[in-house]
Amino acid sequence: MSLQGKHALITGSSRGIGKGIALKLAEKGVKVAINYHQNKAAANDTVMRVREQGSDGFIVQADVSRPEDIRRMFNEVQAAFGRLDIFVSNALGELFTYYRPPLELTPEQWDKAVDSQAKAFLVGAQEAANLIGNGGRIVAITYRPGALTGGWQHYIAQGSAKAALESLVRYFAVALASRGITVNAISPGVTEESVLNSLPQDVQGRMRAWHLAGWTPMGRLGTPADIGNAVALLSSEEAGWITGQVIAVDGGASLMNPDSPLEIQRG
């Protein structure tokens, strides 16, 4: 499964899951464009880590909620790399600016969520299609529980935007199939060093305890490296027959039944 000599752009890759993806691809020999919004120091640190893996890359600033920024970002990637093989749409946006329950969410907050997720993927995938050659890879990072359920009330804007993103993945998979370009989404479970760490400490503690008690069958939370491994797999030549899919990378958490107590499910 060689990715040596490939070129990738990963949005939101200065920290967290995006950084884990960048480092894993760099380990496989991929040159990486590290996108950041505000934290330039973190982006530079990620590039340094990429070089420690024996690869190379550069940083590119862009606010993915702004289509003009996305287009400029792809122009910079083209100027630096000449081509692109892998595009990963990962940037989360400013979640807590639209982290509101249904009866309080404003249209402006709704727009922020959609702009940073669904619209960002729409524009990013269109730009990537112009730059990626035949056989390239496009991967979106989603959160399928938020797109399919309604219990996490404050997640309505992000969950709805992720549902739209997943729909776009399927449409683009068909549109680009004739060129051998695959388009897939990865749905991480609860992951360390991600948005989890920005939640209040008591919320973090409860979520960790819940998953370690059995909700994640493999007995731990995910890591950015776990998600990076999944992106590397989907980016490989061997994954060329997989497209239009949302793949759970969650240690089995999505297999558990919310209708039954864990002690019944686990025996």
Residues identified as active-site: 155, 162
Nearest to 91 by CA among 57, 68, 115: 115
CB 42 within 8 A of CB 14: yes
**Distance separating alpha carbons of residues 145 and 187, to the nearest angstrom:** 8
DSSP 28: T
Count of beta carbons in the 10 Å neighbourhood of residue 154: 16
> What number of CA atoms fall less than 13 Å from residue 171's CA on the CB side?
11
Nearest to 134 by CA among 178, 174, 179: 179
Report H helices in 28-179.
40-52, 67-81, 107-114, 120-131, 144-148, 156-176
Does an H or E element contain 92, and which?
Answer: none
Lateral strand order in the sheet of 84-89: 57-61, 31-36, 7-10, 84-89, 132-141, 182-188, 246-249
